[in-house]
Amino acid sequence: MANKTLFQTLRGALIPVTTTVNDAGAPAYELSPKAALARLAATGCLTRTYYASAGSQLDLVLDLANKVDVDFLAQTALYARRKGFMKDMPALLCAVLATRDLDRLIEIFPQVIDNGKMLRNFVQILRSGVTGRKSLGSAPKRLVRKWLERATERQLIQATVGNDPSLADVVKMVHPRPSDSTREAFYAWLVGKPWDEAALPETLRAFEAWKTSREGEVPDVPFQMLTAQDLGEKEWTSIASNASWQTTRMNLNTFARHGVLRDEEMVKRLAARLADPDQVRRARVFPYQLLIAFMNAGAEVPWVLKNALQDAMETAIGNVPKIEGKVVICPDVSGSMQSPVTGYRQGGSTKVRCIDVAALVAAAFLRKNREARVLPFEVKVVKVPLNPRDSVMTNATALAKIGGGGTNCSAPLALLNQEKAVPDLVIFVSDNESWADPKAGRGTSMMAEWEKIKNRNPKAKLVCIDIVPNTTTQAPDRKDILNIAGFSDSVFDLIASFAAGAEGAHHWIKEIELQPLAKHMKTA
Residue 155 lies in a domain: no
DSSP code of residue 217: S
* Separation CA 354–CA 75 (nearest Å): 27
Task: Please report the pLDDT score of residue 489 as a whole number.
Answer: 57
Nearest Cα to 325, choosing from 262, 373, 258, 267? Answer: 373
Task: Write out the H or E segment, with its range, that includes residue 255.
Answer: helix 252-257
At 82-136, the pLDDT tens digits run 877 777 889 999 999 999 999 999 999 999 999 999 999 999 999 888 888 778 8
Amino acid at 184: E
Over residues 288-293, the mean pLDDT reads 83
- Bond preceding residue 90 cis, omega within 30 of 0: no
Residue 370 lies in a domain: yes
Coil, strand, or helix at residue 268? helix
Question: DSSP string spanning 374-426?
Answer: E--BSSSB------TTS-HHHHHHHHHT---S---TTHHHHHHHHTT---SEE
Residue 151 lies in a domain: no
CB burial of residue 114 (10 Å; 0-12, 13-18, 19+): middle
* Separation CA 241–CA 59 (nearest Å): 45
Task: Please report the pLDDT score of residue 487 as a whole number.
Answer: 66
Residue 421 lies in a domain: yes
* Separation CA 3–CA 314 (nearest Å): 53
Task: Please report the pLDDT score of residue 351 as a whole number.
Answer: 65
* Separation CA 284–CA 49 (nearest Å): 25
The angle formed by the CA atoms of residues 313, 316 and 319, to the nearest 5 degrees, is 120
- CATH number of the domain within which 397 lies: 3.40.50.410
CB burial of residue 78 (10 Å; 0-12, 13-18, 19+): buried
Coil, strand, or helix at residue 438? coil
Task: Please report the pLDDT score of residue 8 as a whole number.
Answer: 47
Coil, strand, or helix at residue 332? strand
Residue 253 lies in a domain: no
Residue 53 lies in a domain: no
* pLDDT tier for residue 9 given thresholds of 50, 70 and 90: very low
Question: Please, which residues bridge with residue 330 across strands?
Answer: 428
Instruction: Tell me: pLDDT of 366 over 60.
Output: yes
DSSP code of residue 427: E
Instruction: Tell me: pLDDT of 171 over 90.
Output: yes
Strand-pair category, 425-430 with 461-466: parallel
Over residues 352-359, the mean pLDDT reads 83
Q: Which of 50-54, 242-246, 321-325 has the highest mean pLDDT?
A: 242-246
Instruction: Tell me: pLDDT of 44 over 90.
Output: no
**How many residues does the structure list for the chain?**
524
Residue 466 lies in a domain: yes
Instruction: Tell me: pLDDT of 47 over 90.
Output: no
Task: Write out the H or E segment, with its range, that includes residue 32.
Answer: none
Greatest CA separation for the chain: 95
Task: Please report the pLDDT score of residue 469 as a whole number.
Answer: 66
* pLDDT tier for residue 35 given thresholds of 50, 70 and 90: confident
| Structural domain boundaries enclosing 426 | 319-518
Strand-pair category, 472-473 with 27-30: antiparallel
* Separation CA 324–CA 380 (nearest Å): 27
The angle formed by the CA atoms of residues 451, 465 and 23, to the nearest 5 degrees, is 85
Number of domains present in the structure of the chain: 1
The helix, strand and coil proportions of the chain, stated in percent and rounded to the nearest 5, come to 50, 10, 40
Task: Please report the pLDDT score of residue 350 as a whole number.
Answer: 59
Task: Please report the pLDDT score of residue 172 as a whole number.
Answer: 94
Coil, strand, or helix at residue 219? coil
Contacts of 41 (CB under 8 A, 6+ apart): 76, 77, 79, 80, 84, 86, 89, 90, 93, 485, 512
* Separation CA 392–CA 365 (nearest Å): 9
Task: Please report the pLDDT score of residue 435 as a whole number.
Answer: 92
Task: Tell which wins on pLDDT, 4 or 309.
Answer: 309
* Separation CA 482–CA 504 (nearest Å): 4
CB burial of residue 291 (10 Å; 0-12, 13-18, 19+): buried
Task: Tell which wins on pLDDT, 76 or 23.
Answer: 76
For 513, other C-beta atoms within 10 Å of its C-beta total 16
For 517, other C-beta atoms within 10 Å of its C-beta total 18
Task: Please report the pLDDT score of residue 43 as a whole number.
Answer: 62
Task: Please report the pLDDT score of residue 10 as a whole number.
Answer: 45
- Bond preceding residue 165 cis, omega within 30 of 0: yes
Contacts of 338 (CB under 8 A, 6+ apart): 353, 354, 355, 403, 404
Task: Write out the H or E segment, with its range, that includes residue 483.
Answer: strand 481-485
Residue 218 lies in a domain: no
CB burial of residue 9 (10 Å; 0-12, 13-18, 19+): exposed
* CA dihedral of residues 385, 387, 390, 395 (deg, nearest 10): 30
Amino acid at 289: Q
Going edge to edge, which strands form the sheet with 327-331?
A: 373-374, 327-331, 425-430, 461-466, 481-485
* Separation CA 39–CA 470 (nearest Å): 7
Q: What is the pTM of this model?
A: 0.78
* Separation CA 366–CA 152 (nearest Å): 44
Task: Please report the pLDDT score of residue 60 as a whole number.
Answer: 82
Q: Mean pLDDT over all residues of the chain?
A: 86
Task: Please report the pLDDT score of residue 368 as a whole number.
Answer: 85
At 374-407, the pLDDT tens digits run 999 999 999 988 888 888 888 888 888 887 889 9
**Around 341, how many Cα atoms within 13 Å sit in the side-chain half-sphere?**
25
Instruction: Tell me: pLDDT of 51 over 50.
Output: no
Instruction: Tell me: pLDDT of 50 over 50.
Output: no
